[in-house]
Structure 1
């Protein structure tokens, strides 16, 4: 009716679901759809409007599985209305849903080696050196030396700037501050930073200095979602800190990306930048012929002086 296909399916146990999947015969069309719910199949209430059904084809099978996400609902019946635009409908074979659960985001951690710790003027100074440029969002400190403590702590990075006299000056910029406290987990949020060195100042006041046994950095794992074709080799290039975030259409359809998207593992990361070899310009003293000439001249002068001194001694 009115060039709209109606697909009604039941949820007999009235389970709270937030997705529905359907198996469709391969087709190369785009259609708009709307999802609504009802408890009696007479009074319908819209759940989500303006779905875009597309890419409903598989290169390996004659069918394709598509998933639609929507706000959590527990209606006894659902109705998917597909606008056919006065064209033939698509062939939907099966309908179902995936029972999903939320888990905490996975976190990657790495240790920040403590290369220096000095205690002077009621303040402890620490230097953390990483083997290479690393990205971190949090730091966690493990300390000892007191049962109860509360110390104001700052985390800094070393930067450089050129002054009016064209000279490079180093300075320290504070990126985070917190209280190192025996009643907390001693974590501090750094925001987003990539660095090889971190500097930490702990104000001890009149207390004995604490000993920092270990510092651990961490960041929340992020994932890149991309539609890849099978049996094709792909190369992911990254590392340019000056690049801006791209503006893609997929942002508007993020709620339609399946939550059970499979994860892929990459091969070894290879640096594409050639190693910089410092080449020193040859100066006047770097010439081999000039050096031998100087040595010869000095030898001649020494021989002349020696012969003259022998004659003076003989007289």
Structure 2
């Protein structure tokens, strides 16, 4: 009999846990259908401001499912490794102000960056020469950087041009001279010189709908209230002021939700950074507290708000219909094996869009959901059932203990 009771309680516990899991999965409030794709591959799906306004700020509630309701693994776009990009920049050629008995090519370091490598392009030739590399800041006084560097311009390139890399100690001279040791020999033809610069990918933003704002000045402090029509994610504010041409002031940023005033951070508002404030918040209302100290208050003329572009990356199959789910405040971020294979995913991917965002269950039907029971009542009932189950389990444990005695 006691073994039967144990089995019954175990089954009740299992059913209760499954019910809780089902409720948690069904709490997504919104969904959107992905556009049809014609090729099976990885795609990026942009999470725009309107969808982000319905999600958690960390996007932990985003889910992607196929037409059978099966979860589709994904990673967030910022999980992809940042690949270092370089760009070739040609250094302008400068005419040699003083005649030289040797072949010379002078390049100007206009960016005034530290150079330790120089790529030169030459006309094809089958000869070998040595060169000297010199530096100058005024085209008059030249200083040795590296001497007797072997220059092998031998090449059979069909375009008639060959490239060679010159390595030398890091140099910040404004002018770099390549001096070919060919006093008693025919010159070689240097076409150009250039360097490869590392490119830092700039953050990309989506502009939010223009918010409404009000300003109130009090003593040495200015209060700015910024209101949005939705709880958008805000990563950058651009403020345009009138008054002082040069300003540099301390500002506190708060997120206002009802009567709750949450501190976001303390920033520096300066004319030097064109009035940009960088932070992360998800709110319908923001408050800025600007400390003017002994300076006259600035007059706010315009406010622009931006969201840092967000996305997810997933492998989508041709001919399969996919649905994007969002709006579950109790969801936990999923952990997919895909996170361990980010190096195998191309950095540049085609984008796929989605349809209008609609309440969950209303894309293919205009009928209202049959159940009108508030979610909180379901959770209270579940918690009560769990408490009863625990009390019964405790009672059963005591009875088994007495039987053993």
State TM-score, norm by structure 2. Answer: 0.38
Q: Which has the higher contact order (CA 8 A, sep 6+)?
A: 2
> Considering only CA atoms, is the larger Rg found in Structure 1 or Structure 2?
1
Task: State the TM-score, normalized to the length of structure 1.
Answer: 0.48
